[in-house]
Amino acid sequence: MTSSIKPMGPGHSHGHSHDEGFIGDWGPWRQDRTLKSVLVIIAIAALATVAGVVALWPTGEGQQIAGENADEIGLVTERLSGTIEDVIDGPCSYSTAESPQNCREVTLIVHEGPEAGALVILPEFNTSFDPSVPDLSSGDQIVVGYEESTNFYFYADRDRRASLVWLVGLFALVVIALGRVRGLLALIAMAATVFILVFFVAPSVLDGNNPLLVALVAASAIAFISLYLTHGFSPTTTVALVGTLGALALTLGLSWIFFELANFTGLASEEAVVLPFIAADVDLGALLLGGAVIGALGALDDVTVTQVATVAELRFRSPHLSRRELVASGIRVGREHIASTVNTLLLAYAGASMSLLLLFAASDQSLGLVANSELVAVEIVRTLCGSIGLVAAVPITTALAATVIAGPRGSFTESPPERVATAPSSSAVASSAVATSDAVSANTPESAMPHQDMTEPEPAPSWDDFSPRDDPPSF
């Protein structure tokens, strides 16, 4: 009896790849009715997303009308760059002996606009009463506002664009250095997300489309593009997408219910108060809910991709694990991830609202009254509903990933991909394989030969499978 061993490598017939992406093939999807149904749902979601983007694509009319309305009430002014030439502190022009006041006079060179290259003196800054007076010095780059009708210049902000460009370049360099091709794809996916938010979501809402519907279509498009572009079109990437969309739907449902119960008006922030004056047709409640959906998407992507990668790595390192064991181990890892992610969401919202927290502390209100204010209550509902969606994403994604990677019954009829490593010579391996094959053939009945799918059905999973181990692993 002869036997031969074919080396496994990039050209292996199963097409698995661990280093360049998730593992698994489309076989289980053809064998399992549940997975077939999931695939149909994903296909329907993709078609609905494309149809939604086409139907809701902005015409630009709403954005133009909103711009005109903002201009009428004085919210729109031209912005020009300039360089500080001189800063002089002294008595204000309206200062008197009875009421002395100090002012700061700023002279700059304007680089843009009708008077590019000219020296311009900005209105006086009263340093005695105005706490927002900028601390400027000669050579600083700033942005000034310009009103053409009155030929009036005023200070708008510092010019930070150069530092932001350097930061973006550093970020891209670090991501590509570590992630290489996958890092580059992640940056492209990020650029696509920014494009969708800026050129689809905002103009479409200003056109009068329902903000929640626009946010749902945008979130779905971002999920499809970012996951498939970054991780490739594979079964396990599809699993991550299914988990993301499923958890996102749950987050939407919970947010919808509790936003209605809390009777949010959407007018808690200054921006929301101004918005009706420039875009009267915008539904602020739906806009608030749509923002919650988009805000939850980023954390969901993180959790679902991590769970799929965890199950894939477990299968690669321990090919003997059954599907039940893969699910249990994956959920144990997911529990730790969820614990940190939920706290991360809370800290992210708190960090962005430090000034607000200080104002509430100064007001000496009880914690209950502070939480009851719409500005804080909105963030509470967003955090808790989003966290519930994150928790739900773990078992959904882990179970589907284990099914796709391990097979419908958890039997590994295919060997996992092997990494390049030092091994015995090919002649020694072949001799050993021949001897082993002959011995097995002579002593093993045909019905018990290896690679036969003789596994018994696994018992139904129980909650004990997912409980913490008595002997936690040491790090």
Identify whether 21 is part of a domain. Answer: no
How far apart CA 305 and CA 316 sit, in angstroms, is 16
Q: What is the pLDDT of residue 95?
A: 85
pLDDT at 22: 52
Tokens representing 227 are: 């996951």
Q: Are residues 145 and 190 in the same domain?
A: no
Pair 222, 370 in one domain: yes
Looking at the fold, whether 133 and 251 belong to one and the same domain comes out as no
Average pLDDT over residues 127-133: 79
pLDDT digits (tens, 9 = 90+) for 335-350: 887 877 777 777 776 7
Question: Mean pLDDT, to the nearest integer, of 51-74?
Answer: 89
Q: What is the DSSP string of 166-180?
A: HHHHHHHHHHHHHHH
Owner of token pair 């607000």: 356
> What integer pLDDT is reported at residue 452 of this predicted model?
43
* Chain-centre distance for alpha carbon 87: 44
Tokens of 7: 């080396």
Give the alpha-carbon dihedral of 469, 470, 471, 474, to 10 degrees.
Answer: 60
DSSP letters, 119-144, are EEEPPPEETTT-TT-----TT-EEEE
Q: Residue 117: enclosing H or E segment and its boundaries?
A: none
| 64 found inside a domain | no
Q: Which residues contact 356 (CB under 8 A, 6 or more apart)?
A: 375, 376
Closest by CA position to 400, among listed 456, 329, 299, 327: 327
pLDDT confidence of residue 272: 79
Any domain includes 370? yes
- The pLDDT value recorded for residue 432 is 44
Residue 453 counted as domain residue: no
- Using a 10 angstrom Cβ sphere, with 0-12 exposed, 13-18 middle and 19 or more buried, the burial of residue 232 is middle
Strands 141-147, 152-158: pairing is: antiparallel
What residues pair up with 84 in beta bridges, in sequence order? 108
**Percent of the chain with pLDDT strictly greater than 70:** 79
Query: In terms of pLDDT, which residue wins out, 133 or 310?
Result: 310
Same domain, 219 and 353: yes
Residue 343 lies in a domain: yes
Give the pLDDT mean for 256-270.
Answer: 85
54 assigned to some structural domain: yes
- Please answer whether residues 466 and 331 qualify as being in contact, where contact means their C-beta atoms are separated by less than 8 angstroms: yes
The answer to whether residue 321 scores a pLDDT higher than 90 is no
Residue 218 pLDDT class (50, 70, 90 cuts): very high
Residue 197's pLDDT is 94
In a domain, 428, yes or no: no
Domain end position, chosen among 347, 377, 406:
406
Q: What CATH number is attached to the domain comprising 90?
A: 2.40.50
Last residue of a domain, one of 376, 406, 436: 406
Predicted confidence at residue 163, as pLDDT, reads 94
pLDDT tens for residues 396-412? 889 888 888 776 543 33
Q: Where are the alpha helices (DSSP H) in 263-366?
A: 270-278, 284-317, 323-351, 354-363
37: tokens are 């149904």
* Same domain, residue pair 47 and 115: no
Q: How far apart are CA 300 and CA 209, in angstroms?
A: 26
Indicate whether 467 belongs to any domain: no
Counted domains in the chain: 2
Please give the residue that has the higher pLDDT: either 28 or 14.
28
206 in the same domain as 288: yes
pLDDT at 427: 42
**Together in a domain, 140 and 233:** no
Using DSSP's 3-state secondary structure scheme, residue 110 falls into strand
- Measured in residues, the chain has a length of 475
* Half-sphere exposure at residue 295, Cβ-oriented, CA atoms within 13 angstroms: 20
pTM of the complete model: 0.73
- 217 with 89, same domain? no
Q: In the predicted model, is pLDDT for residue 143 greater than 70?
A: yes
Q: Enumerate residues 6+ apart whose C-beta is below 8 A from 323.
A: 402, 403, 406, 407, 409, 410, 458
Mean of the per-residue pLDDT values for the chain? 79
414 pLDDT higher than 60: no
What is the pLDDT at residue 474? Answer: 36
Domain that holds residue 129: 77-159
